[in-house]
Amino acid sequence: MSLVPMRAILQASLDAYKAGSQFAVGAYNVNNMEQIQGIMMAANQTQSPVIIQASRGALKYADMDYLKHLMQAAVELNPGIPVAMHLDHGNNLDSVKKSISLGFTSVMIDGSLMEDGKTASTYDYNVKVTKEVVEYAHNFGVTVEGELGTLGGIEDGVGSGKIHLTDPDQVVDFVNKTGVDALAIAIGTSHGAYKFKEEPKLAFDIIEKIRKMIPDKFLVSHGSSSVPAELIDMINKYGGNMKKTMGVPVASLQKAIKLGMNKINVDTDGRLAVTAAIRKVFTEAPDKFDPRDYLKPAREALAAIIAQRMNDFGTAGHIKDVKMISLAEMAKFYKK
């Protein structure tokens, strides 16, 4: 079995950063079988460790148990690929407990927002809920990601819609009080497809400061899809009506990786690739009615964009660098 705590995968990235050969690991959102298959096709092609993550919206859409078994099938059918199952934007301890009971090896608790996933919280609230999750999850060897600061945009019903950059002066205190493994920091990225009207300027100085302050913790960038113009154009060519928008340039993400970013969340790019492929089939072959006729090219399109990101982030070829460790072994590590 290749299912591992997310900590094991991100440790390989952090070790590489300290050795001067930086790479980050992409975390890719899933909602159905074809998405999971496409991601694993890309991981096999590039020989990359991978984080498959499900939001609360995905778990509701697909039903928790369906998605659980689809993700476990990906692990069983790809024994050579290190895989972490991650809960994206958990909003309270109950959502975390449910995910851990389903076999997730990593959870995010987004204490930067209140339980509604929209209202910005206070610092003290964030510390309190994150600490509760860490104390619970570490008993099972499960990795915990927290968030400090808020992103712009809204995706899957999550987001305050306002960017509040992470305050580096709060980072050490937050990490010490919560014991969190990974920290999602706000550096100017944004959720959703409609991120920016012009190329964003990320706060690279914040990454540098925080990396020096917490050298042994993992740094995470949310809302990091690049929203390729060619995919927007393809969607519109085949009947779509998406407005012009810009994502986070790959070059900016690569600079963030060099500064010590370890995990990069990508969702919108995959959604765009799938939608473009399906629209193309519907337009060029309107007689088609078998779902396999359009879901297969959608799966292939997703695999292509994910493989591209794995190469962009430098993840390709790094499966050998991940130490295979069980949740039980990781739980013992936390107890020490």
**Minimum mean pLDDT range among 74-78, 118-122, 228-232:** 118-122
Token pair of 266, please? 């990508």
pLDDT at res. 160: 47
* CA atoms lying within 13 Å on the CB side of residue 276: 23
Rounded average pLDDT over 89-93: 91
Percent of the chain residues past pLDDT 90, beyond the cut: 79
Place 159 in a pLDDT band, splitting at 50, 70 and 90.
Answer: very low
CA distance 187 to 265: 13
pLDDT at res. 115: 85
Query: How buried is residue 95: exposed, middle or buried, by Cβ count under 10 Å (0-12/13-18/19+)?
Result: buried
CA distance 105 to 99: 9
- Asked whether the predicted pLDDT for residue 153 surpasses 60, the reply is no
Helix, coil or strand: residue 209: helix
pLDDT at res. 246: 86
pLDDT at res. 196: 65
pLDDT at res. 201: 85
Higher confidence at residue 152 or residue 332? 332
Per the CB < 8 A criterion, the answer to whether 34 and 298 are in contact is yes
Mean pLDDT of the chain: 92
The full set of domain ranges for the chain reads 6-228+240-267+300-335
Q: Domain spanning 6-228+240-267+300-335 has what CATH number?
A: 3.20.20.70
Per the CB < 8 A criterion, the answer to whether 168 and 209 are in contact is yes
- Asked whether the predicted pLDDT for residue 169 surpasses 80, the reply is yes
What length is written for the chain? 336
- Asked whether the predicted pLDDT for residue 154 surpasses 60, the reply is no
Residue with tokens 């009207």: 197
One-letter-per-residue 3-state SS of 121-175: CCHHHHHHHHHHHHHHHHHHCCEEEEEECECECCECCECCCCCECCCHHHHHHHH
Angular region, 79: left φ>0, alpha ψ -120 to 50, beta rest: alpha
Per the CB < 8 A criterion, the answer to whether 64 and 303 are in contact is no
CA distance 83 to 67: 15
- Among all residues, which ones are annotated catalytic? 88
**Minimum mean pLDDT range among 191-195, 261-265, 274-278:** 191-195
CA distance 210 to 229: 32
CA distances from 224 to 83, 124, 200 (A): 20, 27, 11
Nearest alpha carbon to residue 45 among 232, 282, 317, 264: 317
Q: What sign has the CA pseudo-torsion 259, 260, 265, 266?
A: positive
The model's pLDDT over 271-310, given as tens digits with 9 standing for 90+, comes to 999 999 999 999 999 999 999 999 999 999 999 999 999 9
Q: What sign has the CA pseudo-torsion 26, 31, 35, 37?
A: positive
pLDDT at res. 28: 97
Per the CB < 8 A criterion, the answer to whether 92 and 113 are in contact is no
CA distance 315 to 308: 10
> Phi and psi at residue 154, in whole multiples of 5°?
-135, 135
The model's pLDDT over 111-123, given as tens digits with 9 standing for 90+, comes to 988 888 778 899 9
E-state strands within the chain: 25-29, 50-55, 83-90, 106-109, 143-148, 182-185, 218-221, 263-266
Nearest alpha carbon to residue 328 among 129, 50, 112, 105: 105
CA distance 262 to 26: 9
Task: Judge if pTM exceeds 0.75.
Answer: yes
Residue with tokens 């299912």: 3
